[in-house]
Structure 1
Amino acid sequence: MDILIVEDEAEIAQLIQLYLEKEGFSCHACRDGLRALQLFQEQQPDLIILDLMLPGLDGLEVCARVRQQPGPKDPYILMLTAKGEEIDRIIGLSTGADDYLVKPFSPRELVARVRALLRRSLRQGGQSALYRTQHFQVDPDQRSAQRLLNGDDTELLDLTTLEFDLLTTFISYPGRVWSRAQLIEKLWGDDFFGDERVVDTHIARLRKKIEPDPANPTFVKTVIGVGYRFEDAIA
């Protein structure tokens, strides 16, 4: 697995790289946002460890641009921040980050989170069903999701890895109510670190891509006091 470390503090970058390479990961490192985008295109990493505060382009902008650039890989993004305020974490996740870690952090915790993120794709292995509802079609093997339009027309949905996994989970159990804890267990597993509200952020991002009116969702419904439910007729 290839990891790109984007951290402007040399000592922290070296420490991260040391611990990850001890675990058998291949690492590349850089210290600014523009170089990070260049290495992303050249290296196509499986995961990016991205500092929030960078010279030039900051981590939020780098994260947003990575998510906007199509490529053979859709990397997981673990965002680092020296700030503990909740708003910074929420903003980071809303731009496409999969997880966050607040400095100072334990190198062991960072390694654990990296492993947890990279195991997500392994958890989806073994699926072979093609899920189809009145408005959507999801192929887990090809990892493609389409919106079904009038007639035989379709529209390919541009989803991140986690958004795809969320939609697959919902569409494979239509009508089921999922609590945040259940979604975390399904998508993150026992290695999850952080606040359950991370789920809300990713649900909001998924709604923006599949709902006609994200503010009044038709498909991913909120069940007050419980969690979320996917509603769409089986085709």
Structure 2
Amino acid sequence: MKNADIKILLVDDEPDILEIVGYNLKNEGYQITTAKNGLEAVELAKKIEPHLIILDIMMPEMDGIEACEKIRATAGLEDVIISFFTARSEDYSQVAGFNVGADDYITKPIKPKVLVSKVKALLRRVKNTAETSNSESSEQVNVGEIIIDREEYVIIKDGEKLSLPRKEFELFSLLASKPDKVFKRDDILDQVWGNEVVVGGRTIDVHIRKLREKIGDEYFKTVKGVGYKFTLDED
């Protein structure tokens, strides 16, 4: 996928930030659309179906947390990459962001070159997904009574389709690929988020908690001081 085919939605209530960030990303060849609050972001996301949304948290009308939650709940936007872009660095803000389906967290101010590098790292996931879809068949993978549909990014459990945000799906797919294998936290971060992207230390915990709520607590075991594993054992 070429840069010219990639659509990015920038959302911030500060015009200067939209102008500076938009300018630098346009120079990379991306299609840039801007919004000044969460309400506009939700409507524009439905209209243009972007590949990446860079979303401020503190905004009028509707804040970024609520906007992210609404976007994730919109059909066709479950897999869009969403990165929060905010001056707030408190841990609770990051956890709140990941709780509603954010993929990454960028703290401002940030140098334009660094921002462009982070955007490229995030969009590499889009390109990798496109390449994988083109090279692999649309086969479904069965893990016990659970079906993983890699083409539609859904989990089928008890005949019900569960549409998961991109990172939750990738985390589940990784753990379920080798039942009862303990995946170390560093390996999970590297394989699911990529070592180019820095995320909060509690990111994995938040995503595991969401998977337990949606799929079942009994499938996920915590190995203290090491990481997590997926198990089909009922005990």
Aligned residues of 1:131 and 1:172 also touching (Cα < 8 A): no
With normalisation by structure 2, the TM-score equals 0.88
Provide the rounded CA distance (Å) in 1 between the counterparts of 2:190 and 2:136. Answer: 17
Compared CA separation, residues 72 and 202, structure 1 to 2 (3 A): closer
Provide the rounded CA distance (Å) in 2 between the counterparts of 1:121 and 1:21. Answer: 18
Alignment size in residue pairs: 223
Aligned residues of 1:46 and 1:75 also touching (Cα < 8 A): yes
The 5 Å alignment of 1:187-226 reads 187-211=192-216, 217-226=217-226
Compared CA separation, residues 30 and 121, structure 1 to 2 (3 A): closer
Residue of structure 2 equivalent to 1:75: 80
Provide the rounded CA distance (Å) in 1 between the counterparts of 2:152 and 2:66. Answer: 29
With normalisation by structure 1, the TM-score equals 0.88
Residue of structure 2 equivalent to 1:103: 108
Alpha-carbon shift at residue 61 of structure 1 (Å): 0.6
Residue of structure 1 equivalent to 2:184: 179
Aligned residues of 2:8 and 2:51 also touching (Cα < 8 A): yes
Provide the rounded CA distance (Å) in 1 between the counterparts of 2:189 and 2:22. Answer: 28
Compared CA separation, residues 72 and 13, structure 1 to 2 (3 A): closer
Provide the rounded CA distance (Å) in 1 between the counterparts of 2:69 and 2:57. Answer: 12
Provide the rounded CA distance (Å) in 2 between the counterparts of 1:41 and 1:164. Answer: 22
Q: Secondary structure at the match of 1:229?
A: strand
Residue of structure 1 equivalent to 2:227: 227
Is 1:10 aligned with 2:15?
Answer: yes
User: How big is the alpha-carbon RMSD for the aligned residues of Structure 1 and Structure 2?
Assistant: 1.7
Aligned residues of 1:4 and 1:45 also touching (Cα < 8 A): yes
The 5 Å alignment of 1:46-61 reads 46-61=51-66
Provide the rounded CA distance (Å) in 2 between the counterparts of 1:123 and 1:176. Answer: 25
Provide the rounded CA distance (Å) in 1 between the counterparts of 2:128 and 2:201. Answer: 20
Is 1:139 aligned with 2:149?
Answer: yes
Is 1:155 aligned with 2:160?
Answer: yes
Residue 78 of structure 1 aligns with an amino acid whose one-letter code is S
Percentage of identical aligned residues: 35
5+ residue gaps, structure 2, are 1-5
Which of 127, 151, 166 is equivalent to 2:171? 166
1:6-41 superposed Cα distances (whole Å, 9 cap, x missing partner): 011011111111111111211100101111111011
Aligned residues of 1:222 and 1:229 also touching (Cα < 8 A): yes
Alpha-carbon shift at residue 121 of structure 1 (Å): 4.0
Alpha-carbon shift at residue 230 of structure 1 (Å): 0.3
Provide the rounded CA distance (Å) in 1 between the counterparts of 2:30 and 2:44. Answer: 17
Compared CA separation, residues 142 and 37, structure 1 to 2 (3 A): closer
